[in-house]
Structure 1
Amino acid sequence: MWAKRLAFLCAIAWLLNVAPAGAAPSLPGAFIADLEALQQRLERGELDAVSERALAQAMRLEGGNAADRWARALYLQLAAGAEARRERPATAADLLNAARGIQAAPGDWRAARLHDEAALRRAAGQTERAVELLGEWLAPHGDDSDEQWRLVRWLAELGRWDAAAERVGLALRDADSAGAGRRELAGIVYQRAGRTGEALALLEANLEEGDSAASWRRAAALAQRLGEPGRAAAIWEAGWRRGVLAGEEDLLRLIRLHLAGGTPARAAERLAEALEGGELPDTPAHRRLLAQAWEAARDRQRALAAWKRVAQESDAGEDRRRLEQLARAWGESRRIEASRRQ
């Protein structure tokens, strides 16, 4: 993939034909003909021959006049193209490094080779160096959002989360470039960098565009981490309604989030419906949770009725004591006592 991407390394004829006047020293016709011939051989796959000839010419031209040095840069570029196609990205990167150091070459050309070298360093597993080079290239090309996102990924792979988060801020300036996948990456970067609020905002914006249960769970967990259980419950509720979150475990999590998020009546309603409809097994633990939810909601009648059922079915002293405590606190002791004698 990267070798195809760097195929323009050897587009010598195109470069010579479109370079503006004064942008580079004029080359003798013999140089141009030789460079074009080598490019054609490269396109035919004569990699060894092209590399050997281009390097020999580059060595011969070292220390010459401005035209010689410009030609030397182009020969090094051709040699790099041959090495890249031979799956030798580190060698190709070294050749480009030498080529872009030649001051006789036009500035735009050297900047393009800087970008190419970054890609080759990355392909060679030299990610730290690739990050440095791409960051250098982006300094005057900061509006290239695709390359900003590329640098974010490379920094994330290195675990440099703070630096990656700074780049995310630059990349997000171009809203059109930030698709769902990139926003999810940005959320992960912000989270790992400790910028939880920004991570949650991005994750929430991303939820409507995808059906990844992991994204919904991550967003709810971040809301809880920020101390916003109500927000976490709202996120989980939305995911449940969309069908992204499903099953007993997710339903119980929804109920507990409503309890923690200050909507216990909603938790109790959800749980009561689930028990009646068979979505959750009718167990003592679930009945006790229902009683606790009605209690938290301050629904006295439902809470006392729920605790009474729990106490009767469990015959546990702790459950009976809780029922009696609530009855006394709410002035319902006589009613509870009378119902117990019936």
Structure 2
Amino acid sequence: MKQFLCVLLLGAWSASALASPALRGDVIADLNALQAQLQEGALSNVVERATAQAERLSAGNQADRWASALYQQLAAGALARQEQPGPAADRLATARQLEGIDSAQAARWLREEASLRRAAGQRDQAIELLSEWLASHQDIDATWQLTRLLAQQERWEEAANWLDQALEQASDLNQQPDENQQALMLAVYRNAGQSDQALSYLLEGLNAESDAIQWRQAAGLAQQAGQAGVAAGLWEMAWQLGKLTQSEDRWLLIQLHLAGGTPARAAEHLEQALGEGNIVRDETNLRLLANAWRQAKDVERALNAWQALALQTQSAADWRAYGQLAYAWGKDDQAQQAFAQASALGDEEASQWLASFN
């Protein structure tokens, strides 16, 4: 940033002077001498001399005011090199506000001042200046900068509006946002409550070559957008492609399928993990499996899973639940056996169910 600002401020006055009021020879010589000192690093001398000259000439005629503005620019360049972007920005603000300054040059100084304000951490002022600049200029870099500044200030809706413009300009220029811009886009749309927008963008770019982070981001955005089924589908695809391989990834896949309306796939993944010994065959996991098959309405697998759970826990409540499910699905023999087990364990409600078979 420091080097960039110095490039902006070093020697720009000489090019601008060609289209501006004619300067006296002694003023041009003095400006050239100060520019040489600036390049040599005599920064304090430049600031002192340029400040004195700028103040002396500021109330003069149009040529004097133009010279005053150029002295302020040289002072700004020296201050920027001294890592004082705030005071440097103040000098450019003074320069562009002098009466009679060429509007095009004033606009360039406005843009440079915005960069200095941003470097100084003066975000609100930088936002105001960049907004003013972009009102009359199409500048994709400035649009991205403004979007980031607004995001840093948590002004999410405004950031989303400028982000739309940045993406539109990038499309017109056949540019693809880089990784930092993509991260900014996701953060802005998510916090602005526009997860659908971010998800749509991510889905366009997802393919077998996309990395795990991109798949995770897409699934996360789908969840935030209330599209649990899409989230489950994305996580499933990433799992099948080998992008997600950890045990916690499998667990989240199971949960996403349950939430997304595909409990059979959740049960299949859970059953596979149990069969491979990747998860413990305990009460919690057997109950999750039984409920998943029940939600999937797979009669045989659900009843088998509930029987396995009841055998594991030897709980009267589980035997009764197994019996009720069997009864609801017309499996009377299994229901009667389950109620008998529950009744033997002291479940009075199961005894009443059992009595209905007699």
The answer to whether the superposition gives a TM-score over 0.5 is yes
Question: Among 120, 125, 129, which residue is 1:124 paired with?
Answer: 120
What is the 5 A alignment of 1:229-268? 229-268=228-267
Alignment check: 8 A CA contact 1:295 1:303 kept: yes
Answer yes or no: is 1:148 the counterpart of 2:143.
yes
1:5 alignment counterpart? 5
Whole-Å separation in 1 of the counterparts to 2:52 and 2:210:
55
List per-residue Cα deviations over 1:15-60 (Å, max 9, x = no partner): 158x4xxx31122333222212211110000111111121222122
Whole-Å separation in 1 of the counterparts to 2:121 and 2:132:
18
List per-residue Cα deviations over 1:228-264 (Å, max 9, x = no partner): 2111101222332344433222211211211221212
- Deviation, 1:150, is 0.7
1:158 alignment counterpart? 153
Whole-Å separation in 1 of the counterparts to 2:256 and 2:13:
66
1:271 alignment counterpart? 270
Whole-Å separation in 2 of the counterparts to 1:206 and 1:179:
13
Letter of the structure 1 residue corresponding to residue 135 of structure 2: A
- Deviation, 1:297, is 1.8
Answer yes or no: is 1:185 the counterpart of 2:184.
yes
Whole-Å separation in 2 of the counterparts to 1:234 and 1:281:
26
List per-residue Cα deviations over 1:296-317 (Å, max 9, x = no partner): 2222111111111111111112
Alignment check: 8 A CA contact 1:35 1:75 kept: yes
- Deviation, 1:337, is 4.8
Alignment check: 8 A CA contact 1:288 1:310 kept: yes
List per-residue Cα deviations over 1:98-149 (Å, max 9, x = no partner): 11112433222111110111111222222111111111111111x3111111
- Deviation, 1:184, is 2.5
Cα distance, 1:255–1:169 mapped onto 2, change above 3 Å: same
Alignment gaps of 5+ in structure 1: none
Letter of the structure 2 residue corresponding to residue 146 of structure 1: D
Alignment check: 8 A CA contact 1:233 1:254 kept: yes
Whole-Å separation in 1 of the counterparts to 2:337 and 2:66:
103
Alignment check: 8 A CA contact 2:75 2:91 kept: yes
- Deviation, 1:68, is 1.6
Letter of the structure 1 residue corresponding to residue 63 of structure 2: A
Cα distance, 1:277–1:65 mapped onto 2, change above 3 Å: same
Alignment check: 8 A CA contact 1:200 1:219 kept: yes
Letter of the structure 1 residue corresponding to residue 11 of structure 2: A
Q: TM-score, normalised by structure 2?
A: 0.86
Q: TM-score, normalised by structure 1?
A: 0.89
- Deviation, 1:206, is 5.7
Alignment check: 8 A CA contact 2:212 2:244 kept: no
Whole-Å separation in 2 of the counterparts to 1:302 and 1:134:
63
Q: CA RMSD in A?
A: 2.4
Whole-Å separation in 2 of the counterparts to 1:15 and 1:186:
38
Letter of the structure 2 residue corresponding to residue 115 of structure 1: R
Cα distance, 1:333–1:183 mapped onto 2, change above 3 Å: same
**Which has the larger displacement, 51-60 or 218-227?**
218-227
State how many pairs are aligned. 335
Whole-Å separation in 1 of the counterparts to 2:77 and 2:211:
43
2:83 alignment counterpart? 87
Letter of the structure 1 residue corresponding to residue 86 of structure 2: A
List per-residue Cα deviations over 1:178-231 (Å, max 9, x = no partner): 233312311211221222322332344465575354x54454343234332111
1:288 alignment counterpart? 287
Cα distance, 1:324–1:336 mapped onto 2, change above 3 Å: closer
Whole-Å separation in 2 of the counterparts to 1:264 and 1:330:
18
Answer yes or no: is 1:77 the counterpart of 2:73.
yes
1:29 alignment counterpart? 25
SS at match of 2:197: helix
1:54 alignment counterpart? 50
Alignment gaps of 5+ in structure 2: 341-358
- Deviation, 1:272, is 1.1
Q: Percent identity?
A: 46
Whole-Å separation in 1 of the counterparts to 2:105 and 2:259:
60
